[in-house]
Structure 1
Amino acid sequence: MGSIKIFADSTCDLHAEWITKYDIGIVPLYVTFSEQTYKDGVDLSVPELYRKVDETGKLPKTAAPSPADFIQAFAPYAQEGQRILYISLSSELSSTYQNALIAAEEFTEGTVTVFDSLNLSTGIGLQVMKAVGAAAEGKSVEEIVHMLTAVRSQVETEFVIDSLDYLYKGGRCSGMQNIVGSLLRIRPVIKVEGGKMTPAYKIRGSREKALDQLLDNALSRLPEMDNDLIFVTHSLADEDAKMLKEALESKTNARLVAVSNAGCVISSHCGAKTIGILYTKKLA
């Protein structure tokens, strides 16, 4: 049996160093401003994204990789006799998963396995790293998928959005809600449940208060928390991410607390200074 090649897409928000070190294949999504289309994380950086939004006053459109994109990415490894396991952005949020399934049909049966993470950002990345570890232990694709099926329902994904501006530009709140929310300094908290982004609650007041609440929510789950890997993922909020990382390191017994930068697709939906804590709960 050939080796296993793990794939994800650009929304997994894993460090470039990890992607290289663990030989993870990445298929980028697309970000489009007017007539110009960029590959997420390849042709466009997050600071450039925000500059373009400021210049145009409009959010870009985002799009899934096409089946052809997936075929092109998978083909060299399939030709070498490797089995491919692709862990996708939630099927509830994008057609990425479906396009990968279409691509998989172009290969010999069993060559490409597509797994729906039912998550986003490093909620995907957590699952990718679990798969990487299992593959290194010699687990089969079927065994890894069985493990991931149990793990994905245990992933906790919670983000604080700093401003309602991007939700307003994206049509997710009204102009009046944006004005009132800004005046009252309301920061929405987004969770991922059932593969969908869900407004969990709102925090009114300072950013410090919001960050404290985010941290307290995570620490309240400490007895349930898998102590292998915790992510602090953010969009241009380096100092806050550093603070949360240090707090989690001191208050948990996690093997690793990693800081990760959200890519262009994730950032285009949430805006600058969005920050989240992501981890998995222990399996029963």
Structure 2
Amino acid sequence: MRTIRIFADSTCDLPAAWVQEYGIGIVPLYVTFDDEMYKDGLDLTTPELYNKVAKSGRLPKTAAPSPADFIQAFTPAVQEGQQIIYISLSSELSSTYQNALIAAAEFEEDQVTVFDSRNLSTGIGLLVMKAVKAAAEGRSVAEIIDLLETTRPLVETEFVIDSLDYLYKGGRCSGMQNLVGSLLKIRPVIKVIDGKMTPVSKIRGSREKVLDQLLNNALAQVDDMDNDLIFITHSLAEDDAIHLQQILKSKTKAREVAISDAGCVISSHCGAKTIGILYTKSIQ
């Protein structure tokens, strides 16, 4: 049986040490400031992104990897005789999935399988780690895809955006909404539903209140949680992430509560201090 290698794109936001330890292939998306193009996580870090936005007053554009990018990334593994499962950013949010399908068609049948996560950030990462574990156990491509299809609707992705500034700069809210939201300290809560970023509520008040609400929303599901892995993913909110990690470790039965940093693509849409709790519900 040929070995199976798991690929994802840079929006999976997995810790770099995990990517290296488990041999996960990462295909970066692009972040573009005017005529300058950067590969997410390779040519540009999240703090550098925020510095550029602060200086220019404008948000960058983001772009999917091209089919040629995917072919270049997949080819060495295929030449080594490996089968590839690529788990993509939601097709509702990017052309990344479609471009990967175009690339996969250039290889022989069954060499590259493309799976739509219908998610983002470590919502993708949760699926990637399930696939990595299954591949290590010797499961076939078909068995891993079946597992991913079963797990995909069970992924819970919820995060709080600290400021409306990036939503305003990105054209996702009006200037008046930004002004009122800032004055009233209103922070939107976003969930991934049907592959899309969906505002589900607004929290008014202090940062502490926001974190408590995010935590309580997760703990309300503790009896239904898969006890394998919980992610706390943040954009320059490490202290808050550590605080949530300590509580989740004590109040859940999760094998691991991991902290990860949001990359440039995710951060360019959400802004600094964004923080989320991501986990998988148990398979019934």
- Shared fold (TM-score, shorter chain, > 0.5): yes
Residue 181, structure 1, aligned to residue 169, structure 2: no
How many residues matched? 284
Which letter maps to 2:238?
Answer: D
Shift of 1:79: 1.1
Quote the residue 2:275 is aligned against: 275
Query: 2:213 aligns to what SS in structure 1?
Result: helix
- Aligned twin of 2:233: 233
Q: 1:53 — aligned with what?
A: 53
In structure 1, the residue matched to 2:205 is 205
Q: Corresponding residue for 1:97?
A: 97
Per-residue deviation, 1:80: 1.5
TM-score (norm 2): 1.00
Could you give the per-residue CA deviations for residues 95-131 of structure 1, whole angstroms, max 9, x where no partner exists? 0000000000000011100000000000000000000
Residue in 2 that maps onto 1:17: 17
Amino acid at match of 1:17: A
Please state whether the residue corresponding to 1:202 is helix, strand or coil.
strand
Kindly state the Cα deviation for residue 270 of structure 1 after the two structures are TM-superposed: 0.1
- After TM superposition, list the pairs within 5 Å mapping 1:123-138 onto structure 2: 123-138=123-138
Match of 2:144 in 1: 144
Question: Residue 136 of structure 1: CA displacement?
Answer: 0.5
Task: Please give the secondary structure, in 2, of the residue aligned with 1:153.
Answer: helix
Report the alpha carbon displacement of residue 225 of structure 1 after superposing the two structures with TM. Answer: 0.5
**Equivalences for residues 141-180 of structure 1 within 5 A:** 141-180=141-180
| Distance in structure 1 (CA, Å) of the matches to 2:20 and 2:78 | 19
Give me the TM-score of the superposition, normalised by structure 1: 1.00
User: Any unmatched runs of 5+ in structure 1?
Assistant: none
Give 2:13's aligned amino acid.
D
Letter in 2 for 1:198: T
Extract unaligned runs of 5+ from structure 2: none
Partner of 1:261: 261
What are the Cα deviations for residues 43-85 of structure 1, in whole angstroms up to 9, with x where unaligned?
A: 0000000000000000000000000000000001111111000
In structure 2, what is the equivalent of residue 8 of structure 1? 8
Return the alpha-carbon distance in structure 1 between the equivalents of residues 102 and 160 of structure 2.
Answer: 35
Secondary structure of residue in 1 paired with 2:47: helix
Q: Secondary structure at the match of 1:189?
A: strand
Aligned amino acid, residue 132 of structure 2: V
Identity among equivalent positions (%) equals 75
Alignment partner, residue 67 of structure 1: 67
Report deviation, 1:34: 0.6
In the aligned structure 1, how far is the partner of 2:215 from the partner of 2:80?
Answer: 45
1:86 aligns with 2:80: no
Question: More displaced, 23-32 or 71-80?
Answer: 71-80
Q: After TM superposition, what 4+ stretches of structure 1 lie above 3 angstroms from structure 2?
A: none
The Cα shift of 1:253 comes to: 1.1
One-letter identity of the residue aligned with 2:141: V
Distance across 2 between alignment mates of 1:243 and 1:195: 29
Aligned-partner residue type, residue 102 of structure 1 = I
Instruction: Give the Cα–Cα distance (whole angstroms) in 2 for the partners of residues 219 and 71 of structure 1.
Output: 42
Aligned to 1:121: 121
Partner Cα distance (1:45, 1:82) in 2: 31
What secondary structure sits across from 1:203 in the alignment?
strand
Which residue number in structure 1 is paired with residue 40 of structure 2?
A: 40
**CA offsets, 1:119-152, max 9 Å, x none?**
0000000000000000000000110000000101
> For the residues of structure 2 that align with 1:137 and 1:82, how far apart are their CA atoms?
16
Q: What is the CA–CA distance in structure 1 between the aligned matches of 2:77 and 2:261, rounded to whole Å? A: 28
Q: CA deviation at 1:221?
A: 0.3
Distance in 1 (alpha carbons) for counterparts of 2:247 and 2:163 = 24
Q: Distance in 1 between matches of 2:271 and 2:108?
A: 41
